[in-house]
């Protein structure tokens, strides 16, 4: 019995040992398979990079040679990529490295449509693309996703023929269905996009008439038909966003739902949040374009303080520094800055203007600024010339109205309001404001002092400087203005809720600006951009008539009439258009001027398509390897 027991134990131990060996062998095999998969992944990544490089070489070297043999034009590089192709042919051109910039404020959301600030649109325009974009040299429209288009004789039907080789960054092909979806999604009332819908209101419907052909049918002829359908709509992938039609509130409250067909992409297109701080895009390795993106990554650091941004630029940790006028000349003369950077002083064709908006309705009741005489008086008290000289050191152009002074829309007979204390006091007295108790402050007929808060962006030092200057100027007329700086998200929330007395901000513009969004009475609705509750039926009629007038000369005459009304009403006190004063690290090559400004990222509200593909870092200057 004892012997039998030992034999059984030996058999059990042998079986257990064999089992352990089998498990160890299996684990070894799994490790080998994982290693093989890792090697395969690396090989595929290398091949992907090689293919991307080959594609870039094809666009910059082989295709031009083929075109010399008179092959079909569809083998040529598209016009929209010609400038980028020229850049890629430079002797020092190289792909790789990062472009690193800084934002002045935190971004509340990157989700398209619900985001309303310029900084978010800069990021989005690297990721999502329009059908067409402005040529920065000719200011004519050129195809991006669309290869051609035509407008019917009656001006009501706009048809786009799309490229058939465009795909989103996740590899799904872009078709006419995505274009139609983008329009329908934007026009869905439950989606929080009222300002965008205002621009698209003239479109009756969008429909796919083929896999790569889409039609926009307009309710009436519209002078900005190409812009509204072709450029304002950055194409959203239906397969990615469609689910949010059933959960619109989830979309409206999202922070980072961003996917598109552009040269760059969010590493995680569903889960970016503001608490991440920096915003980072990575190269879209599937990019369909004739010229591939040069940078591996695009990074924006959030640096709220001006001096901190300058220090960061001096240390080489960001590549761009937007100077304020007070420091620009000194920085140009600074030996270190001169050695490490290029500098540019320029006015964007679509730069827009700074203004003070006078809220005419607060908590459902008219404010003192509902009186045109009060608004005119405030403009007479706002010494814009002094602001330009003392705060901007001459690096700005005084604004007269919502149009550029050299635009065909602008009535050149209109002259800027000049500082006039006596005229201002006379208008205020006419409106019922006098110093009734001898304390130096104006009161209305009920004895309430003329006091108001002016909200503005906290992080911009020049805002603070000219607001303090205005505080002193207004005090000379007996008006107490309380500066009230706010962080950008809070400022936007105040504007959205119309919870302010007056606001100083800036609007970007267009080559030909449409006044509908900012000054038409219909846009006083919640979340609309006429957040000062300004209404003038005569102006509404002119805006509507100009919008449906195709003849350019007739339309310009209507715009000028509209500008004259705004000039008299002064819903805004128009301040100035500041020049951009930009320092760019010398490692960034091929920075050039265009009629739209510099060939960098969009800063204008217009999606410029692949314009940011033009700059690069030569191999010898690269410092970021991943």
Pair 532, 454: CB distance under 8 Å: no
74 has pLDDT over 60 = no
Q: Count Cβ atoms within 10 A of the Cβ of residue 10 and give its class: 0-12 exposed, 13-18 middle, 19 or more buried.
A: exposed
Kindly report, residue by residue over 199-224, the tens digit of the pLDDT: 898 999 999 999 999 999 999 998 88
Minimal CA–CA distance to 118: which of 133, 100, 103?
103
| Mean pLDDT on 15-19 | 58
Residue with tokens 């419907």: 205
Model confidence at 32: pLDDT above 70: no
- DSSP for 543-596 reads HHHHHT---HHHHHHHHHHHHHHHHHH-SEEEEEEEPEEEEEETTSB---EETT
Backbone phi, then psi, for 77, in 5-degree steps? -70, 135
Query: Token match 């304390």: residue?
Result: 439
CATH annotation of 353-578: 3.10.105.10
pLDDT tens digit string along 400-458?
A: 999 977 778 999 999 999 999 999 999 999 999 999 999 999 999 999 999 999 999 99
Is 80 exceeded by the pLDDT of residue 171?
A: yes
Q: Where are the domains of the chain?
A: 2-69, 98-315+587-621, 353-578
pLDDT tens, position by position, 312-342: 999 999 999 999 888 999 999 999 999 999 9
Residue 430: alpha-carbon gap to chain centroid: 43
Q: Is 154 helix (H, G, I), strand (E, B) or coil?
A: coil
Q: What's the pLDDT score for residue 21?
A: 53
The answer to whether the beta carbons of residues 274 and 253 sit under 8 Å apart is no
Cα distances (Å, whole numbers) of residue 162 to 7, 129, 213, 343, 620: 80, 13, 6, 39, 39
The CA distance from 350 to 240, in Å, is 32
Mutual angle of helices 552-569 and 372-381, in 10-degree steps: 90
Q: DSSP secondary-structure letter at 320?
A: E
Percent of the chain at pLDDT > 70 equals 86
| Domains 98-315+587-621 and 353-578 equal at CATH topology level | no
Q: Which residues make beta-bridge pairs with 481?
A: 452
Per-residue pLDDT band at 59 (split at 50, 70, 90): very low
Span 277-289, mean pLDDT? 94
As a 3-state breakdown, the chain gives helix, strand, coil percent values, each rounded to 5, of 40, 20, 40
The hierarchical CATH code for the domain 98-315+587-621 is 3.40.190.10
**E strands in 152-287:** 157-162, 203-210, 213-218, 264-265, 279-283
* pLDDT at site 407: 77
Query: What would the pLDDT profile of 502-539 be if each residue is shown by its tens digit?
Result: 999 999 877 788 899 899 999 998 678 999 999 999 99
Task: Give 476-497 pLDDT, tens digit per residue.
Answer: 999 999 999 999 999 999 999 9
């Amino acid at each position: 019995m004892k012997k039998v027991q030992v034999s059984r134990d030996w058999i059990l131990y042998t079986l257990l040992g064999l089992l352990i060996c089998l498990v160890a062998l299996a684990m070894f095999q799994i490790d080998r398979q994982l290693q093989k998969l890792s090697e395969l992944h690396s090989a595929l990544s290398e091949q992907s990079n090689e293919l991307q490089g080959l594609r870039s070489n094809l666009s910059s070297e082989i295709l031009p040679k083929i075109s010399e043999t008179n092959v079909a034009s569809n083998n040529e590089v598209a016009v929209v990529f010609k400038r980028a192709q020229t850049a890629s042919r430079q002797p020092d051109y190289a792909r790789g490295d990062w472009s690193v910039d800084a934002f002045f404020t935190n971004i509340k959301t990157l989700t398209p449509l619900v985001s309303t600030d310029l900084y978010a649109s800069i990021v989005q325009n690297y990721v999502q693309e329009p059908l067409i974009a402005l040529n920065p040299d000719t200011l004519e429209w050129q195809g991006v996703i669309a290869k051609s288009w035509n407008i019917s004789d009656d001006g009501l039907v706009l048809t786009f023929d799309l490229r058939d080789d465009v795909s989103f960054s996740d590899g799904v092909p872009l078709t006419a269905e995505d274009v139609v979806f983008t329009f329908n999604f934007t026009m869905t009332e439950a989606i929080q996009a009222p300002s965008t819908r205002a621009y698209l209101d003239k479109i009756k419907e969008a429909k796919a008439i083929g896999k790569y052909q889409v039609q926009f049918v307009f309710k009436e002829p519209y002078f900005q038909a190409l812009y509204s359908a072709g450029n304002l709509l950055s194409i959203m992938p239906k397969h990615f966003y469609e689910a949010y039609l059933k959960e619109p509130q989830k979309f409206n409250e999202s922070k980072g739902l961003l996917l598109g067909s552009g040269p760059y992409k969010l590493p995680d297109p569903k889960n970016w949040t503001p608490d991440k701080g920096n915003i980072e895009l990575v190269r879209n390795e599937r990019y369909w374009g004739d010229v591939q993106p040069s940078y591996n990554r695009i990074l924006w650091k959030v640096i709220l303080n001006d001096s901190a941004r300058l220090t960061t630029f001096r240390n080489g940790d960001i590549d761009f520094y937007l100077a304020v006028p007070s420091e620009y000349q000194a920085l140009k003369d600074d030996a270190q800055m001169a050695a490490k950077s290029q500098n540019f002083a320029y006015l964007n064709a679509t730069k827009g203007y700074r203004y003070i908006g006078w809220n005419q309705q607060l908590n459902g009741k008219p404010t003192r600024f509902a009186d045109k005489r009060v608004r005119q008086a405030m403009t007479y008290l706002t010494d814009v010339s002094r602001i330009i000289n003392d705060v901007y050191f001459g690096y700005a152009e005084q604004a007269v109205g919502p149009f550029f002074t050299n635009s065909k829309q602008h009535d050149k007979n209109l002259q800027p309001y000049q500082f006039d204390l006596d005229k201002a006091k006379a208008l205020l007295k006419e409106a019922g404001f006098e110093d009734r108790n001898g304390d130096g402050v104006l009161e209305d007929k009920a004895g309430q002092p003329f006091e108001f808060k002016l909200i503005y962006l906290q992080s911009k030092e020049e805002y603070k400087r000219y607001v303090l200057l205005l505080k002193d100027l207004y005090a000379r007329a007996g008006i107490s203005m309380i500066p009230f700086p706010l962080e950008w998200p809070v400022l936007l929330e105040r504007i959205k809720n119309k919870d302010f007395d007056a606001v100083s901000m800036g609007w970007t513009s267009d080559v030909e600006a449409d006044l509908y969004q900012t000054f038409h009475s219909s846009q006083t609705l919640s979340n609309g951009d006429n957040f000062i509750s300004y209404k003038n039926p005569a102006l509404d009629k002119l805006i509507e008539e100009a919008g449906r007038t195709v003849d350019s000369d007739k339309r310009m005459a209507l715009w000028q009439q509209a500008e004259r009304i705004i000039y008299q009403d002064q819903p805004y006190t128009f301040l100035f258009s500041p020049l951009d004063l930009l320092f760019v690290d010398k490692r960034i090559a091929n920075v050039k001027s265009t009629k739209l400004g510099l060939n960098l990222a969009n800063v204008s509200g217009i999606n410029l398509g692949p314009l940011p593909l033009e700059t690069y870092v030569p191999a010898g200057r690269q410092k970021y390897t991943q």
